[in-house]
Amino acid sequence: MDYHSERFEDHSLLIFRDGKLIGLLPANQEKDAIISHGGLTYGGFVLGPQVRFGDVLSGFQGVLQYFDDLKINRFSIKCMPRIYHRSPSDEIDYLLFKLNADRYRSDNLSVVIPKEAIYSRDRMQGVKRGKKHGLKVEETNDLESFWNQILIPNLDQKHQSKPVHSLSEIQLLKSRFPKKIRQFNVYDQDGKIVAGTLIYDTERVARSQYISGNNDKNTLGSLDFLHDHLLQKVFKDKPYFDFGKSNENEGQVINEGLLYWKEGFGARSVTHDYYHIDPSSHTKLNAVMI
Protein backbone atom coordinates (compact mmCIF):
# COMPACT_ATOMS: atom_id res chain seq x y z
CA MET A 1 0.00 0.00 0.00
CA ASP A 2 3.01 2.28 0.18
CA TYR A 3 2.46 3.61 -3.35
CA HIS A 4 -0.12 6.05 -1.92
CA SER A 5 1.25 6.26 1.62
CA GLU A 6 1.40 10.06 1.47
CA ARG A 7 -2.41 10.14 1.39
CA PHE A 8 -2.91 8.13 4.57
CA GLU A 9 -1.60 8.04 8.13
CA ASP A 10 -1.03 4.32 8.45
CA HIS A 11 -2.20 2.51 11.58
CA SER A 12 -2.14 -1.12 10.42
CA LEU A 13 -1.94 -3.84 13.05
CA LEU A 14 -0.48 -7.34 13.35
CA ILE A 15 -2.34 -9.76 15.64
CA PHE A 16 -0.38 -12.47 17.45
CA ARG A 17 -1.28 -15.35 19.72
CA ASP A 18 1.49 -17.05 21.70
CA GLY A 19 4.04 -15.38 19.44
CA LYS A 20 2.42 -16.63 16.24
CA LEU A 21 0.93 -14.24 13.67
CA ILE A 22 -2.76 -15.13 13.21
CA GLY A 23 -4.13 -12.05 11.47
CA LEU A 24 -3.64 -8.50 10.36
CA LEU A 25 -5.67 -5.35 9.97
CA PRO A 26 -4.73 -2.89 7.22
CA ALA A 27 -5.87 0.47 8.61
CA ASN A 28 -5.29 4.21 8.60
CA GLN A 29 -6.05 6.93 11.11
CA GLU A 30 -7.94 10.20 10.62
CA LYS A 31 -7.78 12.28 13.82
CA ASP A 32 -9.62 10.18 16.46
CA ALA A 33 -10.99 7.60 13.98
CA ILE A 34 -9.54 4.40 12.51
CA ILE A 35 -10.58 3.15 9.06
CA SER A 36 -9.90 -0.34 7.69
CA HIS A 37 -7.99 0.84 5.16
CA GLY A 38 -9.23 3.88 3.20
CA GLY A 39 -6.87 3.09 0.33
CA LEU A 40 -8.12 -0.46 -0.27
CA THR A 41 -11.11 -1.48 -2.38
CA TYR A 42 -12.02 -4.19 0.11
CA GLY A 43 -10.91 -4.02 3.73
CA GLY A 44 -11.34 -5.74 7.07
CA PHE A 45 -9.33 -8.34 8.94
CA VAL A 46 -7.12 -10.79 7.08
CA LEU A 47 -7.02 -14.06 8.99
CA GLY A 48 -4.70 -17.04 8.83
CA PRO A 49 -6.03 -20.38 7.57
CA GLN A 50 -5.83 -22.22 10.91
CA VAL A 51 -7.48 -19.67 13.22
CA ARG A 52 -10.44 -20.71 15.31
CA PHE A 53 -13.37 -18.65 16.48
CA GLY A 54 -11.80 -18.11 19.89
CA ASP A 55 -8.68 -16.67 18.25
CA VAL A 56 -10.77 -14.19 16.26
CA LEU A 57 -12.81 -13.26 19.32
CA SER A 58 -9.79 -12.52 21.51
CA GLY A 59 -7.92 -10.83 18.66
CA PHE A 60 -10.83 -8.57 17.69
CA GLN A 61 -11.54 -7.68 21.31
CA GLY A 62 -7.85 -6.93 21.81
CA VAL A 63 -7.84 -4.60 18.81
CA LEU A 64 -10.88 -2.71 20.12
CA GLN A 65 -9.37 -2.39 23.59
CA TYR A 66 -6.13 -1.13 22.03
CA PHE A 67 -8.07 1.56 20.13
CA ASP A 68 -10.05 2.43 23.27
CA ASP A 69 -6.82 2.89 25.24
CA LEU A 70 -5.66 5.32 22.52
CA LYS A 71 -8.91 7.33 22.94
CA ILE A 72 -10.08 6.40 19.43
CA ASN A 73 -13.77 7.29 19.24
CA ARG A 74 -14.72 5.34 16.11
CA PHE A 75 -13.48 2.30 14.26
CA SER A 76 -14.88 2.02 10.72
CA ILE A 77 -14.59 -1.41 9.16
CA LYS A 78 -15.50 -2.48 5.63
CA CYS A 79 -15.93 -6.23 5.53
CA MET A 80 -14.40 -8.50 2.94
CA PRO A 81 -17.15 -9.80 0.59
CA ARG A 82 -17.64 -13.54 1.13
CA ILE A 83 -16.80 -14.44 -2.45
CA TYR A 84 -13.15 -13.56 -1.72
CA HIS A 85 -12.83 -15.96 1.21
CA ARG A 86 -10.70 -19.05 0.60
CA SER A 87 -12.75 -20.85 3.26
CA PRO A 88 -15.82 -20.00 5.39
CA SER A 89 -14.93 -17.03 7.58
CA ASP A 90 -17.86 -15.08 9.03
CA GLU A 91 -16.45 -14.76 12.54
CA ILE A 92 -16.14 -10.98 12.30
CA ASP A 93 -19.73 -10.71 11.03
CA TYR A 94 -20.99 -12.50 14.12
CA LEU A 95 -18.93 -10.28 16.43
CA LEU A 96 -20.29 -7.16 14.71
CA PHE A 97 -23.77 -8.45 15.54
CA LYS A 98 -22.79 -8.92 19.20
CA LEU A 99 -21.42 -5.38 19.30
CA ASN A 100 -24.60 -3.89 17.79
CA ALA A 101 -22.31 -2.28 15.22
CA ASP A 102 -23.88 0.41 13.05
CA ARG A 103 -24.05 -0.63 9.40
CA TYR A 104 -23.79 2.77 7.75
CA ARG A 105 -23.22 1.67 4.15
CA SER A 106 -23.93 -1.33 1.94
CA ASP A 107 -22.74 -1.50 -1.67
CA ASN A 108 -24.32 -3.80 -4.23
CA LEU A 109 -21.71 -5.84 -6.12
CA SER A 110 -22.76 -7.60 -9.33
CA VAL A 111 -21.22 -11.07 -9.38
CA VAL A 112 -21.51 -13.93 -11.85
CA ILE A 113 -20.29 -17.53 -11.85
CA PRO A 114 -18.68 -17.69 -15.32
CA LYS A 115 -19.72 -21.30 -15.99
CA GLU A 116 -23.32 -20.39 -15.20
CA ALA A 117 -23.49 -17.07 -17.07
CA ILE A 118 -26.80 -16.65 -18.94
CA TYR A 119 -26.93 -13.63 -21.24
CA SER A 120 -29.92 -11.41 -21.83
CA ARG A 121 -31.07 -10.72 -25.35
CA ASP A 122 -29.41 -7.29 -25.29
CA ARG A 123 -26.04 -8.73 -24.26
CA MET A 124 -26.22 -11.46 -26.90
CA GLN A 125 -26.94 -8.86 -29.56
CA GLY A 126 -24.00 -6.79 -28.33
CA VAL A 127 -21.67 -9.76 -28.67
CA LYS A 128 -22.95 -10.34 -32.21
CA ARG A 129 -22.33 -6.69 -33.11
CA GLY A 130 -18.76 -7.04 -31.85
CA LYS A 131 -18.19 -10.05 -34.07
CA LYS A 132 -19.84 -8.33 -37.03
CA HIS A 133 -17.52 -5.33 -36.70
CA GLY A 134 -14.45 -7.57 -36.50
CA LEU A 135 -13.43 -6.53 -33.00
CA LYS A 136 -10.46 -8.19 -31.33
CA VAL A 137 -9.58 -8.59 -27.62
CA GLU A 138 -5.96 -8.64 -26.54
CA GLU A 139 -4.23 -8.76 -23.17
CA THR A 140 -1.47 -6.17 -22.95
CA ASN A 141 1.07 -4.76 -20.53
CA ASP A 142 0.48 -1.31 -22.02
CA LEU A 143 -1.86 0.59 -19.71
CA GLU A 144 -1.23 4.01 -21.22
CA SER A 145 -3.46 3.61 -24.27
CA PHE A 146 -6.50 2.62 -22.22
CA TRP A 147 -5.88 5.25 -19.53
CA ASN A 148 -5.22 8.20 -21.80
CA GLN A 149 -7.41 7.42 -24.82
CA ILE A 150 -10.44 5.78 -23.20
CA LEU A 151 -10.72 5.89 -19.39
CA ILE A 152 -9.65 9.44 -18.51
CA PRO A 153 -11.66 11.12 -21.34
CA ASN A 154 -14.77 9.08 -20.45
CA LEU A 155 -14.68 9.85 -16.74
CA ASP A 156 -14.05 13.52 -17.44
CA GLN A 157 -16.89 13.74 -19.97
CA LYS A 158 -19.51 11.81 -18.00
CA HIS A 159 -18.67 12.44 -14.35
CA GLN A 160 -16.13 15.27 -14.33
CA SER A 161 -13.85 12.95 -12.37
CA LYS A 162 -10.57 11.08 -12.68
CA PRO A 163 -9.62 7.43 -12.10
CA VAL A 164 -8.82 6.59 -8.49
CA HIS A 165 -5.37 5.47 -9.67
CA SER A 166 -3.19 7.74 -11.77
CA LEU A 167 -1.46 6.12 -14.73
CA SER A 168 1.89 6.09 -12.92
CA GLU A 169 0.33 4.52 -9.81
CA ILE A 170 -1.37 1.70 -11.68
CA GLN A 171 1.79 1.09 -13.74
CA LEU A 172 3.76 0.77 -10.49
CA LEU A 173 1.22 -1.67 -9.05
CA LYS A 174 1.23 -3.77 -12.20
CA SER A 175 5.03 -3.91 -12.15
CA ARG A 176 4.81 -5.36 -8.64
CA PHE A 177 1.94 -7.73 -9.38
CA PRO A 178 2.25 -8.49 -13.12
CA LYS A 179 0.14 -11.67 -12.97
CA LYS A 180 -2.54 -10.23 -10.70
CA ILE A 181 -3.24 -6.91 -12.44
CA ARG A 182 -4.19 -7.55 -16.06
CA GLN A 183 -5.24 -5.19 -18.85
CA PHE A 184 -7.54 -6.32 -21.67
CA ASN A 185 -8.16 -3.99 -24.61
CA VAL A 186 -10.61 -4.15 -27.52
CA TYR A 187 -9.43 -3.06 -30.98
CA ASP A 188 -11.36 -2.39 -34.16
CA GLN A 189 -10.45 -3.66 -37.63
CA ASP A 190 -7.96 -0.80 -38.06
CA GLY A 191 -6.16 -1.66 -34.83
CA LYS A 192 -7.56 1.33 -32.93
CA ILE A 193 -8.37 0.85 -29.26
CA VAL A 194 -12.12 1.22 -28.65
CA ALA A 195 -12.64 -0.23 -25.14
CA GLY A 196 -10.93 -2.03 -22.29
CA THR A 197 -10.96 -3.19 -18.70
CA LEU A 198 -8.41 -3.57 -15.93
CA ILE A 199 -8.80 -6.84 -14.02
CA TYR A 200 -7.66 -7.69 -10.50
CA ASP A 201 -7.07 -11.44 -10.79
CA THR A 202 -7.22 -13.11 -7.36
CA GLU A 203 -7.39 -16.76 -6.41
CA ARG A 204 -11.18 -17.02 -6.41
CA VAL A 205 -12.34 -13.84 -8.13
CA ALA A 206 -11.60 -11.85 -11.28
CA ARG A 207 -12.71 -8.27 -10.64
CA SER A 208 -13.19 -5.50 -13.18
CA GLN A 209 -11.62 -2.49 -11.49
CA TYR A 210 -12.14 -0.19 -14.50
CA ILE A 211 -14.48 -0.72 -17.46
CA SER A 212 -14.71 1.84 -20.24
CA GLY A 213 -15.38 2.20 -23.98
CA ASN A 214 -15.33 5.03 -26.51
CA ASN A 215 -18.46 6.82 -27.73
CA ASP A 216 -19.16 4.02 -30.25
CA LYS A 217 -19.32 1.28 -27.60
CA ASN A 218 -23.05 0.66 -28.04
CA THR A 219 -22.86 0.62 -31.83
CA LEU A 220 -19.83 -1.66 -31.83
CA GLY A 221 -20.91 -3.84 -28.90
CA SER A 222 -17.34 -3.51 -27.64
CA LEU A 223 -17.99 -3.93 -23.91
CA ASP A 224 -20.34 -6.87 -24.43
CA PHE A 225 -17.81 -8.48 -26.78
CA LEU A 226 -15.01 -7.90 -24.26
CA HIS A 227 -16.80 -9.42 -21.29
CA ASP A 228 -18.05 -12.38 -23.30
CA HIS A 229 -14.40 -13.08 -24.09
CA LEU A 230 -13.45 -12.79 -20.41
CA LEU A 231 -16.29 -14.95 -19.11
CA GLN A 232 -16.17 -17.65 -21.77
CA LYS A 233 -12.41 -17.91 -22.32
CA VAL A 234 -10.02 -16.13 -19.96
CA PHE A 235 -11.83 -16.64 -16.64
CA LYS A 236 -14.20 -19.48 -17.48
CA ASP A 237 -12.84 -21.59 -14.59
CA LYS A 238 -12.89 -18.85 -11.95
CA PRO A 239 -15.45 -19.39 -9.18
CA TYR A 240 -16.59 -15.75 -9.51
CA PHE A 241 -16.36 -12.71 -11.77
CA ASP A 242 -17.00 -9.44 -9.93
CA PHE A 243 -18.28 -6.52 -12.03
CA GLY A 244 -18.02 -4.24 -8.99
CA LYS A 245 -20.63 -1.94 -7.50
CA SER A 246 -23.36 0.04 -9.25
CA ASN A 247 -23.96 2.34 -6.27
CA GLU A 248 -23.71 6.07 -5.88
CA ASN A 249 -24.02 8.36 -2.85
CA GLU A 250 -22.31 6.00 -0.36
CA GLY A 251 -24.50 3.04 -1.29
CA GLN A 252 -27.82 4.87 -0.96
CA VAL A 253 -28.87 4.60 -4.60
CA ILE A 254 -28.14 2.29 -7.54
CA ASN A 255 -27.38 3.29 -11.11
CA GLU A 256 -30.20 1.35 -12.81
CA GLY A 257 -28.68 1.38 -16.28
CA LEU A 258 -25.31 0.14 -15.07
CA LEU A 259 -26.91 -2.61 -12.99
CA TYR A 260 -29.07 -3.63 -15.97
CA TRP A 261 -25.97 -4.07 -18.12
CA LYS A 262 -24.20 -6.23 -15.52
CA GLU A 263 -27.25 -8.37 -14.81
CA GLY A 264 -27.46 -8.97 -18.55
CA PHE A 265 -24.55 -11.39 -18.11
CA GLY A 266 -26.38 -13.26 -15.36
CA ALA A 267 -24.82 -11.32 -12.47
CA ARG A 268 -26.51 -11.43 -9.07
CA SER A 269 -26.05 -9.22 -6.03
CA VAL A 270 -23.48 -9.61 -3.26
CA THR A 271 -23.34 -6.95 -0.55
CA HIS A 272 -20.22 -5.16 0.60
CA ASP A 273 -20.97 -3.86 4.08
CA TYR A 274 -19.43 -1.05 6.12
CA TYR A 275 -19.77 -0.64 9.91
CA HIS A 276 -19.01 1.93 12.60
CA ILE A 277 -17.90 0.57 15.97
CA ASP A 278 -17.38 2.34 19.28
CA PRO A 279 -14.12 0.80 20.57
CA SER A 280 -15.31 1.18 24.16
CA SER A 281 -17.95 -1.45 23.41
CA HIS A 282 -15.28 -4.18 23.55
CA THR A 283 -16.65 -5.23 26.96
CA LYS A 284 -19.77 -6.57 25.21
CA LEU A 285 -17.62 -9.42 23.92
CA ASN A 286 -16.79 -10.62 27.44
CA ALA A 287 -19.93 -12.77 27.60
CA VAL A 288 -19.83 -14.34 24.12
CA MET A 289 -18.52 -17.68 25.40
CA ILE A 290 -20.41 -19.59 28.12
Q: How much is the pLDDT for 262?
A: 97
Contact by Cβ (8 Å): 194, 187: yes
Q: Write the CATH number of the domain with boundaries 114-238.
A: 3.40.630.30
Domain residues of the chain, as ranges?
2-105+274-287, 114-238
pTM of model > 0.85? yes
Q: How much is the pLDDT for 168?
A: 94
Q: What does the alpha-carbon distance between residue 288 and residue 290 come to, in Å, rounded to a whole number?
A: 7
Q: What does the alpha-carbon distance between residue 235 and residue 238 come to, in Å, rounded to a whole number?
A: 5
Q: How much is the pLDDT for 159?
A: 77
Q: Report the relative pairing of strands 240-245 and 205-213 from DSSP bridges.
A: parallel
Task: Classify the C-alpha dihedral 268-180-258-102 as positive or negative.
Answer: positive
Q: How much is the pLDDT for 250?
A: 87
Q: What does the alpha-carbon distance between residue 146 and residue 210 come to, in Å, rounded to a whole number?
A: 10
Helix axes 121-132, 222-229, angle to 10 degrees: 100
Q: Which fold has domain 2-105+274-287?
A: Aminopeptidase (3.40.630)
Q: What is the DSSP letter of 99?
A: T
Q: Tens-digit pLDDT profile for the chain (290 aa)?
A: 777 788 899 999 999 999 999 999 999 999 999 999 998 888 899 998 889 999 999 999 999 999 999 999 999 999 999 999 999 999 999 999 999 999 999 999 999 999 999 999 999 999 999 999 999 999 999 999 999 999 999 998 887 889 989 999 999 999 999 999 999 999 999 999 999 999 999 999 999 999 999 999 999 999 999 999 999 999 999 999 999 999 999 899 999 999 999 999 999 999 999 999 999 999 999 999 99
Topology match between the domains 2-105+274-287 and 114-238 = yes
